[in-house]
Amino acid sequence: MCSLALFPPPLSGGQITLYEANNELVAGSSPDCYEKQGAQTLSALNFPRETLKPHSRPESSSKAAFLDHKDTLWMRSAGAWRDAGLSGLLDEITNSAEEVPKWLAVSSGCVLALIRWMSSFHGSLFPHLTLSGEEMTAEFSQVSDSAIRSFAWHPHTDKFAVALLDDSIKIYNSRSATAPTLKHRLQRNVSAMQWKPLCASALAVACHTCLLVWHVDPSSLSTRPSSGCAQVLSHPGHSPVTSVAWSPSGSLLVSASPVDTAMMVWDVAAENCVPLQRVGGGGVTNVSWSPDGSRLLAATPSALFRVWETRMWTCERWPCLKGRCQSACWSPDGSRLLFSVQGEMVIYALTFSDMTGGPKSAAVVADLSETTFSGIDDITVGGEVQSLAWDPTGERLAVLLKGSSSHPAIIAVFKTRSSPVFELLPCGFVSGEIGAEPRLIQFHPHFQHGALLTVCWSNGRISHVPFYFVSVGRPHTGGSPPLPHITSKIEDYSTTHTLYTEQIS
Amino acid sequence: MLSFNQDCWFVRKVVRWRALASIAWSVLLLPATTTLFVFLVRFSLFHPVEWISECFGLLMAASTIFSLILLCGVVLVIGFFNLEGYTVVPSIPCSRVALLAKVLHPRQCVHSLVHCTVGMMVMWCASVMAGGRYQALGSPCTRGESADAPEVCLNEYHVFLLLAGAFIGYSHSFLGVVQNMNYVSFQIIQQYKYLRCKGSLPWVLKCSAVQSLYAVRNYVALYFFFGHIPRAWISNSLNLPIDSSLHSLDSLTGLLDFSLLYHLWISGAFLLLTWYITVLLFRIYVTEAHRFPVQSTFAEDAEQCLPKVLSEKRTPIMKFLALQDLALLSQHSPPRRQEVFSLSQPGGHPHNWNAISKECLALLSDLTQRLVAHHDAVASNGRARPPSATSDTRTTSNSSVSSAVVSGTEDLPQTPRPSVLLKTPGSVFLKSSGRGISSPLTAPFTPDLDSPFSTPSLRHLAAQQVPQQGQWLGSVQSPHIIRRGPKLWSTSTDSQANGSALASPVPTPSSPPPEQKSSFMAQWLQNRKEQVKGFMAKRVLVVYLFNKLPEASSQALFADSQAHIWALEGLSHLVAASFSEDKYGVVQTTLPSILGCMLSLQEAVDRHFKLPHASSKPVKTSCSMGDSTYKTLRFALRAALKTSIYRITSTFGEHLNAVCISAEHQKRLQQFMEYRE
């Protein structure tokens, strides 16, 4: 098992990690390094928060923004029904007791009390249901406080989409100068995006009320595609959507909402969906498809996650001991799942194989508890995992560690090896400018010379950190020799940190 | 509606057993729905204990048991109709008059009549179980003062419920036609039957409640206006007088009885629920994936193997399930893919792959031809050309279905088109439709086409084509004919007028004198025809009935596209898998034809989506049992086609430059390889 103590000490004094070569992370000293280094790979982008205006209007209604105006009861009731549903209607009737018959006011008051009692009971079972839509998005998706809400690389070309704080999406293409901006009336609170595999143009966006699928013609020169290019997919009760995942074969799209206990499997072109309902857990927060398409992870807001097999769509339940599954990633061959649990500073691994009917327990593969490196000034790193990313060659694992008041968030990069035994080896820390914390990480899907990690920082900068190495799968033409590694046995810890599973259909 | 060939082993061995199992399960579910119904219909808010004990007593009563047996019979009848009427290729009427013809079809009339009767039976059971004032047809009269008053009067509540049953039965049958309820669609994902059933039950419950609400609304309105007619008739024929001291139900006071409406709604929902569950179970059972062996060691099982089954045309359900199985095996099971790529033992021929790829390519090129024909018909704006254009492309499609590359009209110069040009008698229409070869304006002037016989021969040719092709695409062909319907009410004059009508406005100096005479006649006929047309076009009803429904022709073209989607998925996954799994290179030999076929289909689909109405999305139907998947199949096909081509290009990458396909296709393929489509 790997721990942070084995890592080379992080950079200090405002140094910036630029790239990895010959098994070492190379640092530079100024932010200009990004531009210099960007010349050879991809340009770095900067989105200062000040230039973007978030939506000032809260989600629920525009009522408060206008002067009080006396409508008829009928109009107000209709408005309340439209804005807040049944409870809003009842509330309106109860509040205007002098205009309605007494029995109506009393009975609606009773029903309202009953509904509130029921929902508070329901909420006590699943506390996340009491959150508002925006809070829920912030809680369960990777969306952060920075100017960049979400980031997505295209799986086949040098193209990526960036969702910004003002709910617009910009698409950058290495081969064209135009950067189309996508805006849509329903595109609020973007929480996740993903490009469709085996397609040049389709981008799925998880929004506050619905799911949008943009079709951005790559050869078009338009900088502002009309909202007619977007397909709106919505299902009653399925909002806010916090996660989307395309199947690697490009035929299906799965979306999840923490409020809805069903996750939706969409046939996007035909716009029909099949809900897959499992009540336990109270919702689905995060879905992620294994790269070979055979399995799908569905995390819930409770201490439980499911792994679906995608042939007959049955699932295994994996109850966690401590908290909900915070983040997870699949190995490139789809046989191994790494995940982290809220409240624990470790990374677990689950290994699947077709032969034995699945694993019985998860093993701890890395310990991320806080470690202090003593040098010129003591630097503390470690903490809970915010997100995990595994590069497509399966050789580098980037772990974004949550910061705390004493130390900032940081990215720890591991080298991974799957034979003879699966193990994580330390590689190094990726640090950015002073005051900038990493918020989102993603690997480039087909970088030729190793792996390319794209990091979105809290100051709105997007930078690319290349890792130059020769992959095991490729012919070996002389490269960096492997590091002498120090690892302890996995077996020592797997007995104490295990999770139990019950298999249900 | 399909009539099954009784000899097909698949129907005998699989479909029938599946239907039987589904009916058995719906019978087993009856007691549960009946219990639910009894509890809801006898609901009383203020006497809960009485309510529950009464319901349990009722469930044990002999009348309820008898009703249950009767309901079992009803479910059997419904299940039989499901089995007889289901289809995997919906028939889409292209105008309102075609829809009307569907509704008035004798077979449909029988269907409606049976459903009316069966609906009445269910409602009789419901009224017996509801008890109280609904219990029996006769009730003791309340009128006491006159001595000669009869003992038993007509119970209008009972009649009201029975008629409601007939009405709901008819509306179910009617909506079944309008919404294509007999269409069975396949799910996008595979699920176990139990889980699928469990997942759809809440939706079916909601659906039956909502539909029952609509039916109650319509029925109450109908009864308010016409209720006295059946009541008087029943009262006369059964010699039961109407109790005049009670309010009659076709008045406002009679109908605004809340408990009556509630009971009516619950009973209607119960009726629809039992039927819907039968339909649902039938759909789930019939669309369950069936595993066909790829090859068999025994000769007698050879006809049950995938390559043989795929080429079967008479049993669409078998063909669809086989294609689905192909798509699944190509995605999920490497050992079965190995069987597809394997060589025959003596001889070493890749028979399995050849048969499978040939069948898939034939399906796809058939769709390409259909799209090209439709496009030409629309482009020529329906002027006398569509039949010929259709027939001509059909000929090419039939003659070259087995040949590898079949392309659209313009894209490939090396297609067998020129030879066909010479052979086909009606080359005028062909030339005018094949714009790449000669411009449509010059075509009518060429001397060899002035013969008035060209049209009948063409029509004969078209008539030959339709049954030949329509064996399993029968319903798909119909729109062409129906669409032309409105223009054909003057066809009696057509055989003469058609050929020369085109020629007559043009000064043709070379034409001999007798031709001119006939051209005068034709002119006169043409004028008459125009007058009749103009007269008819002014009548609103005629226009309303005969106007083409928007996007219906587009839907009809793609009605069976689920098969094409699976063929595309299966082919592309197999080709992609062959990159690493195909030891003998059997796939490489067909790769050019597969790519060519997909790219020409891609072009045809692209052109089709440029037509008006083709890319407009249908309105979502909220809550009905009718499956509207077929309305969006064309979008699904377009997406599946692109994904399939991308799957092949992303797997093979640069190697595809070595595949020899035409320059046109090479250019398109390059677009795909650069991810620019």
Verify whether the Cβ–Cβ distance A156 to B650 is below 8 Å.
yes
CA distance linking residue B382 with residue B662, whole number of Å: 32
pLDDT tens column, B204-241: 999 999 999 999 999 999 999 998 999 899 989 988 88
Task: List the structure tokens of A484.
Answer: 């002498």
Ramachandran bin of B147, using left for φ above 0, alpha for ψ from -120 to 50, beta for the remaining angles:
alpha
Could you tell me if A273 and A267 are in contact, meaning their C-beta atoms sit under 8 angstroms apart?
Answer: yes
Residue B478: C-alpha distances to residues B34, B102, B185, B462 (Å): 42, 12, 20, 13
Share of chain B above pLDDT 70, in %: 77
| Total count of residues recorded for chain B | 677
Q: Is B381 left (phi over 0), alpha (psi -120 to 50) or beta?
A: left
Q: Which residues neighbour B559 within 8 Å (Cβ) at sequence distance 6 or greater?
A: B89, B90, B91, B92, B475, B476, B630, B633
Amino acid residing at B296: S
User: What residues of chain A lie within 8 A of the CB of B187, using their CB?
Assistant: 274
pTM to 2 decimal places: 0.82
Nearest to residue A162, comparing CAs of A180, A140, A175? A180
At B566, which amino acid appears? Answer: W
- Per DSSP (E only), the strands in A234-309 are 243-246, 253-256, 262-267, 272-277, 286-289, 295-299, 304-309
Omega prior to A8 cis, within 30 of 0: no
B646 to chain A, closest Cα gap in Å: 5
Give, for A193, the enclosing helix (H) or strand (E). strand A192-195
Which burial class, exposed, middle or buried, applies to B115 when counting CB atoms under 10 A from its CB (0-12, 13-18, 19+)?
buried
Closest to A171 in 3D by CA, of A227, A226, A218, A232: A218
CA dist A392 → A168, A411, A449, B212, B567 (Å): 28, 18, 12, 54, 30
Quote the pLDDT of residue B488. 35
Tally Cβ neighbours within 10 Å of residue A405: 5
- pLDDT at B636 > cutoff 60: yes
Q: Which residues, in sequence order, are bridge partners of residue A17? A: A27
Phi/psi for B182 (5° steps) reads -80, 0
Please state, in angstroms and rounded to a whole number, the distance separating the CA atoms of residues B127 and B553.
Answer: 45
Write the pLDDT tens digit of every residue in B552-599: 888 999 999 999 999 999 999 999 999 999 999 999 999 999 999 999
CA distance B522 to B508: 15
CA dihedral B75, B76, B79, B85 (to 10 degrees): -120
Q: By CA distance, what is A267's nearest residue in B?
A: B188
The residues that bridge with A231 in the sheet, in sequence order, are A213
Which of A198, A265, A354 is the best mutation test for B, with the most CBs of B within 10 A?
A198
- Tell me which DSSP letter residue A348 carries: E
DSSP structure string for B565-610:
HHHHHHHHHHHHHHHHH-SS-HHHHHHHHHHHHHHHHHHHHHHHTT
| Confidence at residue A378, expressed as pLDDT on a 0 to 100 scale | 81
The Cβ of residue A30 has, within 10 Å, a number of other Cβ atoms equal to 12
Closest C-alpha among A281, A318, A280 to residue A296: A318
Q: What is the DSSP string of A114-151?
A: HHHHHHHHHHHHSGGGGS-HHHHHHHHSS--SSSEEEE
Interatomic CA distance for residues B128 and B135, integer angstroms: 5
Confidence of residue B500 (pLDDT cuts 50, 70, 90): very low
CA distance A480 to A23: 6
**Which segments within B312-439 are labelled E, that is strand?**
none
pLDDT at A279: 85
Does the CA dihedral B475-B478-B479-B482 come out positive or negative? negative
Q: What's the CA gap between A164 and A187, in Å, rounded?
A: 11
Q: List strands edge to edge, sheet with A148-153.
A: A148-153, A159-164, A169-173, A181-182
Rg for chain B (alpha carbons), in Å? 31
Neighbours of B375 (CB within 10 A): 22
Is the pLDDT at B637 greater than 60? The verdict is yes
Give the span between the Cα atoms of A485 and A482, in whole angstroms. 8
Read off the pLDDT band of B300 (50, 70, 90): confident
Interface of B with A in 387-446 (CB under 8 A): none
Q: Provide the residue-wise pLDDT of chain A in tens; the chain has 505 residues.
A: 788 888 988 887 778 888 888 888 888 876 565 555 544 445 667 787 767 666 555 444 455 555 566 667 788 888 777 776 777 788 888 887 777 788 888 888 898 899 888 878 877 788 888 888 888 888 888 887 788 999 999 999 989 999 998 889 999 988 888 889 999 999 988 999 999 999 999 999 999 999 999 999 888 888 999 998 999 999 988 989 999 999 999 999 999 999 999 999 999 999 989 999 998 888 999 999 999 999 999 999 999 999 999 999 999 899 987 889 999 999 998 889 999 999 899 999 998 876 556 667 888 999 999 888 887 778 888 889 999 999 999 999 999 998 888 888 999 999 998 888 888 999 999 988 888 889 999 999 988 888 999 999 988 888 889 999 887 765 444 444 333 333 333 333 333 333 333 333 3
Q: Which of B188, B192, B331 sits opposite A249 (nearest CB)?
A: B331
Rounded to an integer, what distance in angstroms lies between the CA atom of residue A8 and that of residue A486? 12
Task: Tell me, rounded to whole angstroms, the distance of Cα A37 from its chain centroid.
Answer: 27
Which residues of A, range 193-212, sit inside 8 Å of B by Cβ?
198-201
Q: By the 8 A CB rule, do B261 and B213 touch?
A: no
The token duo for A290 is 């294994």
Helix (H) or strand (E) holding A280: none
What pLDDT was estimated at residue B532? 84
Measured distance CA(B374)–CA(B367) in Å, rounded: 10
Say if A174 is an interface residue toward chain B (CB within 8 Å).
no
Tell me, yes or no, if A279 comes closer than 8 A to chain B by beta carbon.
no
CA distance B418 to B437: 9
User: For residues B425 and B491, what is the distance between their CA atoms, to the nearest angstrom?
Assistant: 20
N-terminal to C-terminal alpha carbon distance within chain B:
39
- The torsion angles phi and psi of A25, rounded to 5 degrees, stand at -85, 130
Helices (runs of H) and strands (runs of E) counted in chain B: 27, 2
Band of pLDDT at residue B484, cut at 50, 70 and 90: very low
Strand pairing of A202-206 and A192-195?
Answer: antiparallel
CB contact under 8 A, B191 and A277: no
Cβ–Cβ under 8 Å, residues A422 and A432: no
More confident residue, B390 or B225: B225
Whole-number pLDDT of residue A141: 83
The encoded tokens of residue B563 equal: 């098969």
H or E, element range at B481:
helix B454-484
CB-nearest to A269 from B635, B646, B676 is B635
Q: Which residues of B touch A218 (CB under 8 A)?
A: 675-676
Determine, for residues A265 and B188 on separate chains, whether the beta-carbon distance falls below 8 Å: yes
- Residue A505 structure tokens: 């259909």
Q: Kindly state the average pLDDT of the residues B500-517.
A: 44
For every residue of A15-71, which 3-state class applies, written as one string? CEEEEEECCEEEEECCCHHHHHHHCCCCCCEECCHHHCCCCCCCCCCCHHHCCCCCC
Residues belonging to chain A:
505
Host H or E run for residue B238: none
pLDDT (tens digit, 9 = 90+) per residue, B40-50? 998 888 888 99
Is the Cβ of A117 closer than 8 Å to some Cβ of chain B?
Answer: no
- Quick: pLDDT tens for B145-182: 555 566 788 888 999 999 999 999 999 999 999 888 99
Neighboring chain B residues of A271 at a CB cutoff of 8 Å: 617, 632, 635
3-class secondary-structure state, position B408: coil
CB contact under 8 A, A270 and B642: no
Minimum CA–CA partner of B576 in chain A: A249
CB-based contact A381:A370 (threshold 8 Å): yes
Task: Compute the distance between CA of residue B130 and CA of residue B61 in angstroms, rounded to an integer.
Answer: 13
Q: CB of A268 within 8 A of CB of A213? A: yes
Starting from the edge strand earliest in sequence, which strands make up the sheet with A230-233, in order?
Answer: A192-195, A202-206, A211-215, A230-233
Q: Which residues of A295-327 are buried (b: 16+ CB within 10 A; e: fewer)?
A: bbbbbbbbbbbbbbbbeebbbbbbebeeebbbb
A-to-B residue pairs, Cβ atoms closer than 8 angstroms: 79
Contact B192 A314 (CB under 8 A): yes
pLDDT band at B335 (very low <50, low <70, confident <90, very high): very high
